[in-house]
Amino acid sequence: MTATTDGSAGPGVSGTKNLTSDTLAPAAGGRESTVALAERTAARAVDHLLARQDEAGWWKGDLDTNVTMDAEDLLLREFLGIRDEKTSAAAARWIRSQQREDGTWATFYGGPGELSTTIEAYVALKLAGDDPEAPHMARAAAWIREQGGIVRSRVFTRIWLALFGWWRWEDLPEMPPEIIWFPKWFPLNIYDFGCWARQTIVPLTIVCAYRPVHPAPFRLDELHVDPARPNPPAAKAPLTSWDGAFQRIDRALHAYRKVGSRRLRRAAVKEASRWIIERQENDGCWGGIQPPAVYSLIALRLLGYDLDHPVLKAGLESLDRFAVWHDEQTRMIEACQSPVWDTCLTAIALADAGLPRDHPALVKAADWMLGEQIVRPGDWSVRRPQLTPGGWAFEFHNDNYPDIDDTAEVALALRRIGHPDSERVNRAIARAVRWNLGMQSRDGAWGAFDVDNTSKFPNRLPFCDFGEVIDPPSADVTAHVVEMLAAEGKQDDPRTRKAIAWLLSEQESNGSWFGRWGVNYLYGTGSVVPALVAAGLPTSHPAIRRAVGWLESVQNDDGGWGEDLRSYIDSEWIANGTSTASQTGWALMALLAAGEQDSKAVERGVTWLAETQREDGYWDEPYFTGTGFPWDFSINYHLYRMVFPLTALGRYLHGDGLARRTGRDA
């Protein structure tokens, strides 16, 4: 997919430029100087967003992660024999541009060097033809050795190296394909894993069953501390510990590989391949995300599918759509694409900024979102077989894995839009509410994709060292569902009250909430406070007052708010970081919901947004404020810097009344 660079406007809606000065609703009186700043800032942001809407009705910003996406894409193409000069050179330019001065690569902007990421980037550049004696390569190799070399990298990195003979398969954890048969009540069945993990693990069981080795085009001795002894045995953990127990289970699985039934193994591989093919999306991808697609293509190739087979051909074509080309010279790979999420958040921002409910851009967005509702069962139905479908997914094509978060936010967006077919909207939202309520976990909260996906065993497995592999309930997702239920008049429903009680119990002692899918406590708090107030909690409630006090206490001296990703592993970084537009928007949304419209903190936050906005309505935000796996996998959503500041500015200017936003009685 070809995308525009950060600040430029993409295909727009005809006739909307400079429309906002006439169509945005006027602000209420008071706070004159700050209001004038907010009005001008909001108008610019609205113009910018309207110009970026696709003709089909959706919005999508670039989605930055880290260079392992680019490195693994090149390694896949090398393994399949389809790597070409243009792709390699363009990917190498991007990988080089992300290298830090010390020779390393990080997993987020401004973060520390990360060993596995640096190893994969180095290998990809060497594959693309970079001389290992070149200064940038020599610095990377020296740092890798200082950190202990390849042996200290994560399992998934060593799996990639094993594919080319740079690591021994025998020294990797065993992943038997027989797990495909474990019943759903059995520990470590595939549905104990989060959906992103199970989609990756199932094809990897086939890869690990075959243990293929593609002839390596070069050696990697320079990445070992001792090239003569590259695979030293791992230290044994005590048998009384979980790590020790799973180490011994892994040894038993290695032994089973040698003595187990070959017929049984072949049958398990066949069943796993059927599982993979059944879950291929209409566009050829798997789950709308890159990693499962990569491993699924390798697995199916090992099973004898040729590159022209419709399954593989569609899969490879889908991978090309993850590519973002800059000036036809540099190629970045997105881990996934976020059009549904970006579109619903943009629609909310535009509506809250005062754009008329029947504005053509909003109606077109509603049409597109309505067409994306998923009305067939997916993997979630394994746990909820009787539940009627009705959710939305994050991506263009991902019917197997709709998520609770997108579904809640799409419903909130649709309620803000004056669509001419109100009955169609009502039916879609009714399905969404029914589906989300049916996905509530036992404790009253919601995870992102599955119900009660809380087993502690998957994270203990030796090969699960790449990030979070389960999908427990989180405060931010639960808050978005509560806000949706309140908008639908269900604030007194026992299921909503149970969710509210759970949210109150999850508040931290300092007054904040943990952010699972955004960084971090600012995101959690910015999600929960508006939801609790929408559901009827008075702004005088102690939980709301504690949250306000915390937000005021962590405001930066410049008036904005910021939080570094290191807050996931180090409490010193909680609400500590350079001010960003998206995180300032989250803090303001919480304060405004709590009734702090006239507070000094809000005035300073609004002023910071106004003073840091570019002339074209955009905010520069290199910092990563989205979360895939806390700490392990971070995301920079390029539209977060637009939608959350605009939502906050709109609520500052126009309030947050349900009747104004939905056209219904509050």
pLDDT at 20 > cutoff 70: no
Residues 6+ apart with CB under 8 A from 23: 354, 355, 356, 359
Residue 354 and residue 274 share a domain: no
The pLDDT of residue 663 is above 50? no
Rounded Cα gap, residues 127 and 218, in angstroms:
8
Q: Tell whether 586 and 650 lie within a shared domain.
A: yes
Give the closest residue to 297 by CA, choosing from 283, 325, 318: 318
Task: Answer yes or no: is 12 within a domain.
Answer: no
pLDDT (mean) for 420-440: 98
Tell me the pLDDT band of 245, cut-offs 50, 70 and 90. Answer: confident
Which residues, in sequence order, are CB contacts of 649 under 8 Å at separation 6+?
Answer: 38, 41, 42, 45, 353, 588, 606, 609
Per-position b or e across 68-96, b if 16+ CB within 10 A of its CB = bbbbbbbbbbbbeeebeeebbebbbbbbb
Confidence of residue 609 (pLDDT cuts 50, 70, 90): very high
Q: What is the mean pLDDT of residues 640-654?
A: 97
Lowest mean pLDDT among 19-23, 58-62, 393-397, 399-403: 19-23
pLDDT band at 32 (very low <50, low <70, confident <90, very high): low
What average pLDDT does range 4-20 have in this prediction? Answer: 37
pLDDT at 14: 30
**Residue 341 pLDDT exceeds 50:** yes
Query: How many distinct structural domains can be found in the chain?
Result: 2
Count CB atoms within 10 A of the CB of residue 459: 15
Cα–Cα distance, 228 to 231 (Å, whole number): 9
Please count the CA atoms within 13 angstroms of the CA of 113 that sit on its side-chain side: 22
CATH number for the domain that contains residue 587: 1.50.10.20
Q: CA distances (Å), 262 to each of 170, 178, 257, in order?
A: 18, 11, 9
Looking at 333, 354, 374, the residue that finishes a domain is 333
Residue 16: pLDDT over 60? no
Helix (H, G, I), strand (E, B) or coil at 237: coil
- Reduced to 3 states (helix: H, G, I; strand: E, B; else coil), residue 493 is coil
Mean pLDDT for the stretch of residues 215-219: 93
- Which of 309-318, 598-607, 651-660 comes out lowest in average pLDDT? 651-660
Domain-embedded: residue 446: no
- What pLDDT score was predicted for residue 456? 85
Instruction: Compute the mean pLDDT over every residue in the chain, rounded to the nearest whole number.
Output: 91
Q: Supply the DSSP symbol for 584.
A: H
Q: What is the pLDDT at residue 665?
A: 36
Cα angle for residues 396, 400, 401 (degrees, 5° grid): 75
Same domain, 643 and 494: yes
Query: Same domain, yes or no, for 250 and 274?
Result: yes
CA within 13 Å, CB half, 189: 11
Range of the domain at 428: 32-63+336-439+474-662
Tell me what pLDDT residue 31 has: 57
Segment (H or E) for 633: strand 633-637
Helix and strand numbers, DSSP H then E, in the chain: 24, 5
User: Do 656 and 530 contact (CB within 8 A), yes or no?
Assistant: yes
pLDDT in tens, 161-185: 999 999 999 999 989 999 999 999 9
Q: What is the pLDDT of residue 7?
A: 43
CA distances from residue 494 to 98, 337, 490, 544 in whole angstroms, order as listed: 50, 36, 9, 21
| Tokens 């990421």, residue located | 117
Task: Round the CA-based radius of gyration of the chain to a whole number and report it.
Answer: 25
Is the pLDDT assigned to residue 21 strictly greater than 60?
no
Residue 452 in any domain: the answer is no
Q: Are residues 523 and 550 in the same domain?
A: yes
- Structure confidence at residue 24 as a pLDDT band (50, 70, 90): low
Residue 221 in any domain: the answer is yes
Virtual torsion, Cα 43, 46, 52, 58, nearest 10 deg: -170
Q: Which residue has the tokens 């992943």?
A: 175
Mean pLDDT, residues 401-416 taken together:
98
Banded model confidence at residue 659, pLDDT cuts 50, 70, 90: very low
DSSP string, 365-416: HHHHHHHT---S--GGGGT-TTPPP--B-SSSS-TT--BHHHHHHHHHHHHT
For the ranges 83-97, 194-208, 453-467, which has the lowest average pLDDT? Answer: 453-467
**Distances 185 to 189, 382, 442 between C-alpha atoms, Å:** 8, 11, 16
Mean pLDDT on 480-505: 98
pLDDT tens digits along 128-165: 999 999 999 999 999 999 999 999 999 999 999 999 99
Q: Which two tokens stand for residue 272?
A: 């796993």
**46: β partners:** none
- Is residue 641 over pLDDT 90? yes
Given 280, 304, 333, the domain boundary residue is 333
Same domain, 285 and 202: yes
Length of the chain: 666
Same domain, 43 and 72: no
Confidence grade of residue 258 (pLDDT, cut at 50, 70, 90): confident
Question: In 3D, which of 491, 488, 364 has the Cα closest to residue 426?
Answer: 488
pLDDT at 256: 82
**Residue 597 clears pLDDT 60, i.e. is over it:** yes
Average the pLDDT over 435-446 and give the result.
98
One domain for residues 340 and 329: no
Mean per-residue pLDDT, 56-84: 96
Percent of the chain with pLDDT over 90: 82
How large a percentage of the chain has pLDDT more than 70? 93
Higher pLDDT, 7 or 59: 59
pLDDT of residue 327: 84
- Is 4 inside a domain boundary? no
The residues annotated as belonging to the active site are 405
Asked if 375 and 340 sit in the same domain, the reply is yes
- Mean pLDDT, rounded, for 566-579: 96
| Mean pLDDT of all residues in 616-630 | 96
Specify if 301 maps to a domain: yes
The answer to whether residue 279 is domain-embedded is yes
Q: What is the mean predicted confidence (pLDDT) over 320-336?
A: 92
Residue, of 328 and 520, whose pLDDT is higher: 520
pLDDT over 70 (residue 23):
no
**Domain's final residue, options 333, 363, 398:** 333
Lowest mean pLDDT among 99-103, 291-295, 463-467: 463-467
Angle at 506 between CA 501 and CA 507, to 5 degrees: 105
**Residues 222, 120 share a domain:** yes
Structural domain contains residue 655: yes
Task: Identify which has the larger pLDDT, 213 or 235.
Answer: 213
156 and 212 together in one domain: yes
Same-domain status, 515 and 547:
yes
**Which pLDDT value is given to residue 3?**
38
